[in-house]
Structure 1
Amino acid sequence: MDIITVEKRNDQLKAKQLRRKGIVPCCVYGGGLTDSISIQMEQRTADKLLRKLRLGSKVQLNLEDQNIITQIKDKYFANGKVEHIDFQALDPQTKVNSVAHIILENSDVVTGILDKMLMEIPYASLPKDMIDTVTISLEGKAVGTTITVADIPEFMNDSIDLQVDADSIILRISEKRSSAVKEEAEAAG
């Protein structure tokens, strides 16, 4: 889990003024917090965080003397720059809705057409059981291969409550269309 040092937001400055100074305003809410907390982080830190992580990723925020376990709940951009990030504080005893991202490796070696159907899998779990990404290697996968949510061991775990059907198709490798059209023409003619 990534650890980010943040500060309480400077209430004397408006969000636009903070951004001009290279600071991104953020908010932490939910979990065991009684009130939401306005925080800020440097633009470089926010850019680095969002290059590496995605919505639903678990992040530990160090705020003064507190360590707050959160997930990235939302992010806002304008003109290609991070404008604001929302973090949801996580209660270790409460299940949280999140999303696991599917990462495909070796897609360049697929001989057929790769149809990506479901690249984010919504689920609920306790914070300790959260899944950020699942990597699927496509090396050696033949035309006709279909991978469903049920084919991923990480999702077939009692600690994960899927919010999609286990039979939902993540990806399919189909025959290249041009050769299929040629074969149909040859068979007909």
Structure 2
Amino acid sequence: MKTITIEGQLRSEFGKKATRQLRSEDKVPCVIYGGAETVNFSAPSKSFKALVYTADFQLAEIKLGSKSYKCVLKDMQFDVVTDELTHVDFLELVEDKTVNVTLPIKLVGQSAGVKAGGKLVSKMKALKVKALPKNLVENIEVNIENLELNGNIRVEDVKIEGIEITNSPRIPIASVVMTRQLRQEEASAEKDAKKK
């Protein structure tokens, strides 16, 4: 799994004045929680680009002096006017402690319904899951080869060992719908059949 390394410095000063000073130096205040201790640090804003501005699920390795923390991005805040990153929360990965994360969906295979002239409609981009850190994956592959015309693949159809999907089971992930052209072809075929 892809891991982004972020090098930061521990924070010793807190409050609005200290936070403003950090942001004026183009640094982002951050926190790591979920492990043995809560760690407050700051890092240059450019070091977050590969982690924040992507749809991919990635791990973050936070290096603070001699210590290193394996984390996942949990939350981020942006300035409402400038859209600049203003704060980042990380959840430390602890070997025997389950984490709740959102993993992107990757549709694989060619649907039977698409081969028959239908159009594939992706209804979800990601799934909420609960898993141990060792079971986390970059994305959840959903095989759509058996997806027929006017059919759906739902959350309940996806099973991954070691990962519990927490979304509602009846929500559709993808479906194949009839295209306008296919409907017109079927309607004209029905008219021709009635004439005979």
What are the within-5 Å matches in structure 2 for residues 14-163 of structure 1?
14-33=18-37, 36-52=38-54, 57-78=58-79, 79-104=82-107, 112-135=118-141, 143-144=149-150, 146-149=152-155, 152=158, 155-157=159-161, 159-163=162-166
1:16/1:176 CA distance change after superposition, 3 Å: farther
Secondary structure at the residue paired with 1:11? coil
- TM-score when scaled to structure 1? 0.75
Q: Which digits, 9 at most, give the CA deviation of each residue in 1:13-65, with x for residues without a partner? A: 532332222111111111222xx2211111111123213465x6422211111
1:10/1:162 CA distance change after superposition, 3 Å: same
Structure 1: runs of 5 or more not aligned: none
Instruction: Give the Cα separation in 2 of the matches to 1:29 and 1:112.
Output: 47
Instruction: Give the Cα separation in 2 of the matches to 1:21 and 1:165.
Output: 44
Instruction: Give the Cα separation in 2 of the matches to 1:31 and 1:156.
Output: 26
1:124/1:146 CA distance change after superposition, 3 Å: same
2:13 — aligned with what?
A: 11
State the AA in 2 paired with 1:37. Answer: V
Shifted more, 168-177 versus 37-46: the winner is 168-177
What is the root-mean-square deviation in Å for CA atoms of aligned residues? Answer: 3.3
Larger Rg: 2
State the AA in 2 paired with 1:132. Answer: E
Identity %: 21
Matched residue pairs, number?
Answer: 181
